[in-house]
Amino acid sequence: MRHRKQDTKLGRPGAHREAMLAALVCGLIRERRITTTLAKAKLARRLAEKMVTLGRQGTLAARRRAVSKLRRPGAAAILFDEIAPSFNGRQGGYTRIVKLGPRRSDGSEMAILEWVGADAPDKSKPKAKEEA
């Protein structure tokens, strides 16, 4: 029975799921905003929030724990040096999920996962560049 088990499996083995979530969070750290399915975004949000909490601690032990989860020392360095200090006055809720609607190919619900400090995405059509 799955009583009180909170992780969504996403149809993947555990190692694949952990690697995928680490890659999503590293992409979020590097790009500041990622587009993925809603289910993956909800799971990646949990890991991203925990990583920011580690980044706010700023200790060597916290940095090592972040590197062990994210599997990329460069992403952990960006997290600790740039992203976590920007959330020092905030108690939690470092990320935002914006729903985009279904994907055309298979109908999966899509979403944007981004840091709260980033600008809100514009769902309208992109504007043509003005020629100067």
Fold held by 14-32+39-94: 50s Ribosomal Protein L17; Chain: A, (3.90.1030)
CA distance 122 to 125: 8
Per-residue pLDDT, 43: 96
Q: How confident is the prediction for the chain on average, in pLDDT?
A: 91
Per-residue pLDDT, 2: 87
CA distance 62 to 88: 16
Burial class (CB in 10 A: 0-12, 13-18, 19+), 111: buried
Please state, for a pLDDT cut of 90, what percent of the chain lies above it: 83
DSSP three-state, residue 65: helix
pLDDT digits (tens, 9 = 90+) for 3-51: 988 888 999 999 999 999 999 999 999 999 999 999 999 999 999 999 9
Report, as an integer, the average pLDDT of 59-82: 97
DSSP three-state, residue 90: coil
pTM for the model stands at 0.85
What count of Cα atoms within 13 Å lies in the side-chain half-sphere of residue 121? 16
Strand order in the sheet with 109-115: 33-37, 109-115, 95-102
